[in-house]
Structure 1
Amino acid sequence: MRSRCLVVSLALPLYRTPFFTCATLGLALFLMHSPGAFAETPFTLTSASFHSGKVEAAQVFNQAECKGGNRSPQLTWRDAPAGTRSFAITMFDQDAPGRGWWHWAVAGIPAKVDSLPENASSSGFLTKLGAVEARNDFDTDGYGGPCPPPGKPHRYVITVYALSTADLRLAQGRPALMFDHEIGTASLGSARMVVNYGR
Structure 2
Amino acid sequence: MKIKVRGIEEGQPVPEKFAFGVYSEQDHMSFGPNRNPELVWEDAPEGTRSFVVMMFDPDVPSVADDVNQEGKTVSKDIPRVDFFHWLLVDVPATTSRIPEGEDSDGVIPKGKEPGPGPIGIRGVNNYTQFLAGNPDMAGTYAGYDGPCPPWNDEILHHYHYEVHALDVETLGLDGEFDGAAVREAMAGHVLASARVTGTYTLNPDLRKD
Runs of 4+ in 1 over 6 A off after TM superposition: none
Q: Distance in 1 between matches of 2:85 and 2:184?
A: 15
Q: Which has the higher contact order (CA 8 A, sep 6+)?
A: 2
Q: Distance in 1 between matches of 2:6 and 2:175?
A: 27
Aligned to 2:42: 78
- Backbone CA RMSD of aligned residues: 2.2
Q: Distance in 1 between matches of 2:185 and 2:155?
A: 32
| TM score, norm. by length of structure 2 | 0.68
Q: Distance in 2 between matches of 1:110 and 1:191?
A: 17
Q: CA deviation at 1:51?
A: 4.8
Contact 1:94 1:101 in 2 (8 A): yes
Contact 2:9 2:198 in 1 (8 A): no
5+ residue gaps, structure 1: 1-42
Q: Distance in 1 between matches of 2:99 and 2:46?
A: 24
Q: 1:100 aligns with which of 74, 79, 82?
A: 82
Q: After the TM superposition, which of the residue ranges 59-68 and 106-115 deviates more from structure 2? A: 59-68
Q: Distance in 2 between matches of 1:193 and 1:88?
A: 15
Determine what percentage of the aligned residue pairs are the same residue. 31
Aligned to 2:71: none
Aligned to 2:32: 68
Structure with more of its chain in strand, by fraction: 2
- After TM superposition, the structure 1 = structure 2 runs for residues 119-198 of structure 1, keeping only pairs within 5 Å, are 119-122=101-104, 127-129=117-119, 131-139=120-128, 140-150=141-151, 151-198=154-201
Contact 1:132 1:172 in 2 (8 A): no
Aligned to 1:55: 14
5+ residue gaps, structure 2: 23-27, 63-80, 106-111, 129-140, 203-209
Structure with more of its chain in helix, by fraction: 1
